[in-house]
C-alpha cells in the first residue's frame, strides 16, 4: 500500500513539476490556521507540508508553493481538489503551459523593497572602489576568456554599420564591459556596467517596435 512517505521520497527526486505537485497535493492536509498530521483520508494517512518536505529533503516553502498551485488549478477545474485525493492515487495532470500559468498566479513574485533609482551607477561604483577587498565576481581564467573575447570583438566590430545608434552603442558598451571583467582592477565596475548596458540595450530594442 502506498503511503505519504513513498510519495515524499518521489517528490525528492527531479521530475515533472505538475507530477510533483500531485504528489504533495495527495499527501498533505492542512488547516487554514496551521498544519496537522493526524488526518486520515480514504483510510490512508496524510501529513503536514512541513513533515512531507522534511521527508522529501526539500524546503517547506517549495511544497507549499506546489500545493498552492494545485489548489488554484482545482478551483479552475483542471485537477481534483486535495480532499478527493489519497497517497498513491494518480490523476490526469494539466499541460506544462497551464501549470506554468497557474504557478505564476499562485506564487507571484514578491514586490521589490529596495529602490534601485536611489543609488546611481556612479555611486555604486564609488562604494565598491572604496573597499578593494570586495569582489562581486571571481576574475575569469584568461586562458578560456581570451578565445571568447576575441570572438566577441570580431562579432561586434561593425555593429555601428548594422544597427541603429542606440542599439549599437549599447552593444559596444556591453562588449567592452564584458571584456573588462577579466581585469582584476576592473571586475566590480565592469560587472555593474555590463548590467547597465543590458538595460540600455533592452530600452533601445524597445524603440524599434
**What local confidence, expressed as pLDDT, does residue 115 receive?**
55
First-last CA distance in the chain: 59
Task: State the pLDDT at residue 88.
Answer: 85
**Given this model, what pLDDT does residue 70 score?**
94
Domain boundaries, the chain: 4-106, 116-206
Mean pLDDT of all residues belonging to the chain: 81
The model's pLDDT over 197-208, given as tens digits with 9 standing for 90+, comes to 898 888 888 777
Whether 33 has a pLDDT exceeding 70, the answer reads no
Query: For 38-49, what is each residue's pLDDT tens digit?
Result: 444 444 588 999
In the block, cell 494518480 appears at 90
Q: Please give the average per-residue pLDDT across 58-63, as a whole number.
A: 86
Q: According to the model, what pLDDT value does residue 72 have? A: 94
What is the distance between the alpha carbons of residues 34 and 60, in angstroms, rounded to a whole number?
13
Task: Name the percent of the chain lying above pLDDT 70.
Answer: 84
Q: Is the dihedral of CA 52, 56, 57, 58 positive or negative?
A: negative
pLDDT, position 37: 43
Report the DSSP pairing between strands 40-41 and 34-35.
unpaired
Which residues have CB under 8 Å from 69's CB, separation 6+?
21, 99, 102, 103, 106, 107
Phi, psi of 194 (to 5 degrees): -65, -40
- Which is more confidently placed, 142 or 48? 48
Q: How far is CA 65 from CA 29, 39, 124, in A?
A: 14, 21, 35
Per-residue pLDDT, 49 = 92
Mean pLDDT, residues 87-114: 82
Q: Which three cell numbers stand for residue 154?
A: 570580431
Quote the cell numbers at residue 72: 488554484
Span 48-56, average pLDDT: 90
- The pLDDT score that the predictor gives to residue 16 is 81
The pLDDT value given to residue 30? 63
Q: Which residue has the cell 524603440?
A: 207
Tell me: pLDDT of 132 over 80. no
Per-residue exposure over 3-24, b if at least 16 CB sit within 10 Å of its own CB, e if not: ebbebbeebeeeeeebebbbbb
Q: Is the pLDDT of residue 116 over 60?
A: no
Amino acid at each position: 500500500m502506498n503511503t505519504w512517505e513513498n510519495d515524499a521520497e518521489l517528490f525528492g527526486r527531479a521530475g515533472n513539476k505538475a507530477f510533483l505537485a500531485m504528489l504533495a497535493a495527495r499527501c498533505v492536509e492542512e488547516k487554514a490556521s496551521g498544519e496537522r498530521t493526524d488526518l486520515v483520508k480514504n483510510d490512508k494517512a496524510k501529513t503536514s507540508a512541513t513533515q512531507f518536505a522534511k521527508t522529501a529533503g526539500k524546503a517547506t516553502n517549495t511544497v507549499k508553493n506546489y500545493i498552492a498551485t494545485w489548489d488554484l488549478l482545482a478551483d479552475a477545474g483542471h485537477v481534483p481538489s486535495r480532499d478527493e485525493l489519497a497517497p498513491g492515487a494518480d490523476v490526469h495532470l494539466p499541460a506544462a503551459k497551464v501549470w506554468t500559468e497557474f504557478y505564476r498566479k499562485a506564487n507571484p513574485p514578491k514586490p521589490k523593497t529596495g529602490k534601485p533609482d536611489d543609488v546611481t551607477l556612479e555611486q555604486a561604483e564609488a562604494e565598491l572602489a572604496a573597499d578593494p577587498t570586495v569582489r562581486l565576481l571571481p576574475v575569469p581564467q584568461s586562458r578560456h576568456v581570451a578565445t571568447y573575447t576575441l570572438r566577441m570583438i570580431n562579432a561586434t566590430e561593425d555593429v555601428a554599420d548594422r544597427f541603429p545608434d542606440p542599439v549599437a552603442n549599447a552593444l559596444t558598451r556591453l562588449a567592452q564591459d564584458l571584456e573588462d571583467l577579466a581585469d582584476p582592477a576592473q571586475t566590480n565596475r565592469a560587472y555593474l556596467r555590463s548590467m547597465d548596458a543590458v538595460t540600455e540595450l533592452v530600452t533601445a530594442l524597445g524603440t524599434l517596435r
